């Protein structure tokens, strides 16, 4: 039962990752990292497919091995978070406390992304 749940979650994360490759504010790599983790517990064949994928495999492998996020991905992630916040702020007209809470959460997420190594070597 647990294996089936991980398989379904992995397939869902893979779908979101594929959608993120085409939708500007939806992340791709983070969903594929989650999918690979789920497939590691449910389907070695699908895990290998993600890890060996020409485009996304190196990103997922670098994350697993070193917690690394390439500079370009950091810039895109932070730009996407900032853009998403602007759209949220302008379209939802949130209360000040809610805008500050969302900005704080996004700021913490951006700080985490920026704090990760940029290459496949720690510190690189």
Give the pLDDT confidence score for residue 93 in this predicted structure: 96
Q: Share the mean pLDDT of the chain.
A: 90
Residue 61, pLDDT above cutoff 90: yes
Q: What percent of the chain has pLDDT over 70?
A: 94
User: pLDDT of 21-30, one tens digit each?
Assistant: 887 667 788 8
DSSP string, the chain: -HHHHHHHHHHHHHHHHHHHTTSTTS-SHHHHHHHHHHHHTT-HHHHHHHHT-TTTHHHHHHHHHH----HHHHHHHHHHHHHHHHHHHHHH---HHHHHHHHHHHHHHHHHHHHS-SSSSTT-
The tens digit of pLDDT for each residue in 30-56 reads 899 999 999 999 999 999 999 999 999
pTM reported for the whole predicted model:
0.75
Q: What is the pLDDT of residue 25?
A: 67
Confidence at residue 121, expressed as pLDDT on a 0 to 100 scale: 56
For the ranges 17-31, 49-63, 83-97, the lowest mean pLDDT is seen at: 17-31
């Amino acid at each position: 039962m647990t294996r089936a749940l991980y398989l379904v979650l992995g397939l869902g994360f893979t779908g979101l990752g594929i959608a993120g490759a085409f939708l500007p504010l939806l992340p791709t790599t983070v969903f594929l990292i989650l999918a690979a983790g789920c497939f590691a517990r449910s389907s070695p064949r699908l895990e290998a497919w993600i890890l060996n994928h020409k485009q996304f495999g190196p990103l997922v492998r670098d994350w697993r091995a070193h917690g690394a996020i390439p500079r370009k991905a950091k810039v895109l992630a932070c730009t996407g978070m900032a853009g998403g916040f602007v759209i949220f702020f302008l379209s939802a007209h949130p209360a000040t406390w809610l805008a500050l809470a969302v900005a704080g959460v996004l700021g913490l997420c951006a700080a985490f992304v920026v704090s990760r190594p940029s290459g496949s070597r720690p510190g690189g």
